[in-house]
Amino acid sequence: MKKSVPVIAIDGPSGSGKGTIAHRVAKVLGWHLLDSGALYRLVALSASKAGVALDDVQALARIARTLDVQFDSNEDGSERIWLAGEDVTGEVRTEETGAGASTVAAIPAVRDALLARQRAFRQLPGLVADGRDMGTYVFSDAPLKIYLTASAEERARRRHKQLKDKGMDVSLAALSRDIEYRDRRDSERSVAPLRPAEDARILDSSGQSIEAVTQTVLDWVSEL
């Protein structure tokens, strides 16, 4: 049953726009959405709230197995994320939580604990899954695998604009260094490293609008 449910796997580095594209594609198709990165961010955020160190493997795996999380949307379509009944949408998307997520995502026990939870999102009529190993590991049989990327400079500019729009004072240079560090750590980790699946379609979003990238993905879906 699960194998017959179509999946669009969208992987890529931080700031490539995969979350935005996945949301739009899922909405157009009327499919379910999996933001796998949010799950790792929630593990990191839960650990921070509980005073658990990011090198405490057993405690982190326990948090991953017992996450009380719900994904919701506002009337305008923007995301809302609930952790143990608390709206943590803003906290989940901070740079600090993102850095923590990159750390815990490199821990095999955490990845194992979240694997079944991610695969459970695969339900009819279909699933759009975004992350870093959706096509290479979690949904390796997905009929459409996309590796969405952009230059490090453009990804830093996008993130800088997002944070500035939220009233946060951030350094563009610091964001650029952080993105380059995360790229290196994610691509060099021993478990599920960030890389395109062998049968993935590469889509560089540099210089392209959100609408143009979304349409490219929808065109590929129509070819299935």
Residue 137 is predicted with a pLDDT of 92
83 is in which domain, residue-wise? 2-222
The label of the residue with tokens 């590469």 reads 202
- Tens of pLDDT, residue by residue over 82-108, are 999 999 998 998 889 988 998 998 899
Which residues does the chain have with pLDDT short of 70? 1-3, 76-77
Residue 161 is predicted with a pLDDT of 84
Could you tell me the CATH number of the domain that includes residue 50? Answer: 3.40.50.300
pTM reported for the whole predicted model: 0.83
Domain count for the chain: 1
Residue 1 is predicted with a pLDDT of 46
Cα separation of 84 and 106, whole Å? Answer: 24
Residue 172 is predicted with a pLDDT of 87
Residue 125 is predicted with a pLDDT of 95
Tokens representing residue 163 in the block: 């944070």
Burial class for 171, CB neighbours closer than 10 Å (0-12, 13-18, 19+):
exposed
- Tens of pLDDT, residue by residue over 138-161, are 999 999 999 999 988 889 888 888
